[in-house]
Amino acid sequence: MMLLVVMLTTFAIFFVIPKWAGTDPALLFVGKQADPAAIEGIREKLGLGDPVLLQFWHFVEGIFVGRDYSSGPDVIHCSAPCFGYSFRTEQAVWPQLTEAMPVTLSLAAGACLLWLIGGISAGVVSALRRGTIWDRAAMTVALAGVSLPIYFTGLLSLAVFSYQLDWVNVDYQPLTSDPGKWLESLVLPWVTLAFLYAAMYARLTRATMLEIMGEDYIRTARAKGLKERVVISRHAMRSTWTPILTLLGLDLGALLGGAVLTESTYNLPGLGRLAVNAINEKDLPVILGVTLIAAMFIVVANLLVDLLYAVIDPRVRLG
C-alpha cells in the first residue's frame, strides 16, 4: 500500500508536475539538438501522449507482469519486475538495481553495526564517567563526527590510507566474488559513514543512560546484589535500546542520503551513486527504480525496527 503511494508520488513528480508547470519531460531526454521531430519521437517513446492514468498503469503493469518494449528493429520483452530500460544506457533497470543493492546494503549494514557499537559504547562510557576526561573526550570526538562532512573525512581517509600509506585498495568487489577484497574496499567507507552517525548515537545513549540509571528498577537491580556490570549490561542497556531503535528507524530511512556522498567519494557502485548518475542524466526509469527501492528500503527498515521494538519491549507486543 505504502509502496503504491510512493510509486504514485514519484510518478507524479516526473510526469505530471512538469506538465502542469508547462515544461515538457521529453525535453529532458532529447539531448543537445532538440528539434521538434526529435522531441516528438521521444514523446512517443515515453508514451507521453497517453493519458496520465494509462501511463501509470503501464508503469505498474511492468513491475508486476512485465512489458514489451520496441527497441527499433525488434520487440523485446522485459519480464517482471520490469522497471523499463535506462534511457541512457538502454540496459534494463532491474538488473542494475539488483546489482547496486548489495553494495548499498553492505555499506549500510557494516556502517550501521560500527556506529551502533562505537556510538553506544562511547555513550555508555561517558554516561558512567560523567564529567570526567573520558566523557569529554568521547563527546568531543562525537561532535567532530557530526560536524565534519563525509567529503572531508572521506577524502582525508582516502588520502592517508589508500594513496599515501597504500594500506587499503578501495576498488569494490562483491562479497560473493572475493570476501577479502569486499571487506578491504568497505572498511574506509564503513568507518567514515559510521563516524558521522556514531556521534548522534553516543549523545543519545549518554542522555538515555543517565536517565535510566536513575530509574527505580536500576535501584532494585542493585538491591538484589547484582554486580554493577550486570546492572548496566542487563538492566540499563536493555532500556537504552528503545530510543536508539527509534533513531535507527529514522536513520536507516535517511541512510540512502548518506550513502550517496559516501558512494561517490569511495566510488562504490551502489544505489546512491546510481541515483546521482540517473538524476544528473535525467534517466527517468532508473530514478523511478531507485526511488521505489529506496522506499522499500525504508519500509523494510521500519518494519524491522518495529519487530525489534516488540522483541525488546514486551509492552509493545500484541495480545
Partner 1 sequence: MTSQRSPRRRRIAAATVVVGALMATAACGGDKDDKGGGGDGAGYNAGMTGIANKSTKKGGTLRFIGKQDFDSLDPQRQYYGMAWDFSRFYARQLISYEPKPGSNKLVPDLATDLGKISDDGKTYTYTLRDGVTWEDGSPITSKDIKYGIERLWAKDVISGGPTYLVDVLDPKGKYKGPYKDKTKDKLGLSAIETPDDKTITFHLAKPNGDFEQLLAMPAGSPVKQSADKGAQYANHPMSSGPYKFTSYKAGKSAELVRNDKWNKASDPIRPALPDRITVTINSNVEAIDKLLIKGDYDVDLNGTGMTGSGRAQALKEHKANVDNIQTSFTRYVDIATKVAPFDNIHCRKAVFYAADYKSLQTARGGPEAGGELAPNMLPKSVAGSDDYDPYGVLKRGGKPDVAKAREELKACGKPDGFSTTIVARNNQPGEVEGAESLQQSLGKVGIKAEVDPIDGAQSAGITGSPSVVKKKGYGLSVTGWGPDFPTGQGFSRPLVDGRFIQQSGNYNYSETNDAQINKYFDEALAETDPAKAAEIYKKMNHRVSDLAVEMAFVYEKNFSWRGSRLTNAYSSPAYNGRYDYVSLGVK
Partner 2 sequence: MTDLNQPVATPGEGAPRAFLDVRDLRVHFPTDDGLVKSVDGLSFQLEKGKTLGIVGESGSGKSVTSLGILGLHTAGQYGRRKAQISGEIWLDGKELLSADPDEVRKLRGREMAMIFQDPLSALHPYYTIGKQIMEAYRVHHDVTKKVARTRAIELLDRVGVPQPDKRVDAYPHEFSGGMRQRAMIAMALVNNPELLIADEPTTALDVTVQAQILDLIRDLQKEFGSAVIIITHDLGVVAELADDLLVMYGGRCVERGPAEKVFYQPQHPYTWGLLGSMPRIDREQTERLIPVKGSPPSLINIPSGCAFNPRCPYADVPKGGVTRTERPELSLVGDRHYSACHMAQEERTRIWTEEIAPKL
Residues that bind partner 2 (CB under 8 A): 127-132, 135, 213, 215-228, 231, 234-235, 238-239, 312-315
- Rule CB under 8 A: is residue 206 a binding residue for partner 1? no
Q: What angle do CA 68, 271, 4 make, to 5 degrees?
A: 55
How far apart CA 212 and CA 218 sit, in angstroms, is: 7
Contact 238, 73 (CB under 8 A): no
User: Which among partner 2, partner 1, none contacts residue 105 (Cβ within 5 to 8 A by kind)?
Assistant: none
Q: How far apart are CB 23 and partner 1 at their closest, in Å?
A: 5
Q: Which of 45, 49, 39 is nearest to 285 (CA)?
A: 45
When asked if residue 91 is in the footprint of partner 1 (CB under 8 A), the reply is: yes
Can you tell me which of 8, 60, 88, 243 binds partner 1, judged by CB under 8 A? 88
The residue (of 57 and 163) whose beta carbon lies closer to partner 1 is 163
Q: Whose CA is closest to 222, among 210, 236, 203, 208?
A: 236
Which residue, 67 or 206, has its beta carbon nearer to partner 1? Answer: 67
Residue from 29, 115, 195, 197 binding partner 1 (CB under 8 A): 29
24 sits near partner 1 (criterion: CB under 8 A)? yes
Decide: is 74 part of the binding site for partner 1 (CB under 8 A).
yes
Min CB(82)–partner 1 separation in Å: 15
Query: Could you tell me which of 305, 205, 312, 311 has the C-alpha nearest to residue 255?
Result: 305
Min CB(140)–partner 2 separation in Å: 16
Rounded to a whole number of angstroms, the minimum distance from the CB of residue 52 to partner 1 is 20
Instruction: Say which entry of partner 2, partner 1, none residue 228 contacts (CB below 5 to 8 A, set by partner kind).
Output: partner 2
Cβ atoms of residues 82 and 69 within 8 Å: no
* Residue 60, CA atoms < 13 Å, CB-side half-sphere: 16
The item of partner 2, partner 1, none sharing an interface with residue 158, based on CB under 5 to 8 Å by kind, is partner 1
Q: What is the DSSP string of 262-314?
A: HHHHHT--SHHHHHHHHHHTT-HHHHHHHHHHHHHHHHHHHHHHHHHHHHH-G
Are the C-beta atoms of residues 274 and 77 closer than 8 Å to each other?
no
Identified binder of partner 1 from the candidate list 8, 155, 247, 312, rule CB under 8 A: 155
Q: Note whether 304 and 27 are within 8 A (CB).
A: no
Alpha helices, H only, 129-236: 133-147, 150-157, 179-212, 216-223, 228-230
The answer to whether 165 and 231 are in contact (CB under 8 A) is no
Q: How far apart are CA 318 and CA 212, in angstroms?
A: 25
- What's the min distance (Å) between Cβ of 103 and partner 1? 11
Closest to partner 2 by CB, 218 vs 299, is 218
Q: How far is the CB of 267 from partner 1 (least distance, A)?
A: 4
Residue number, 126 or 265, with CB nearest to partner 1: 265
Q: Which of 30, 124, 191, 292 binds partner 1 (CB under 8 A)?
A: 30
The item of partner 1, partner 2, none sharing an interface with residue 312, based on CB under 5 to 8 Å by kind, is: partner 2
Cβ proximity of 128 and 232 under 8 Å:
yes
Angle between helices 237-266 and 179-212 (to 10 degrees): 140
Cβ of residue 268: shortest distance to partner 1, in angstroms? 8
- How far is the C-alpha of 42 from the C-alpha of 25, rounded, in Å? 9
Instruction: Give me the least distance between CB of 315 and partner 1, in Å please.
Output: 44
Give me the residues that bind partner 1 (CB under 8 A), please: 23-24, 27-35, 37-42, 44-45, 69-74, 76, 85-91, 96, 149, 151-152, 155-156, 158-160, 163-164, 263-267, 269, 273-274, 276-277, 280, 282
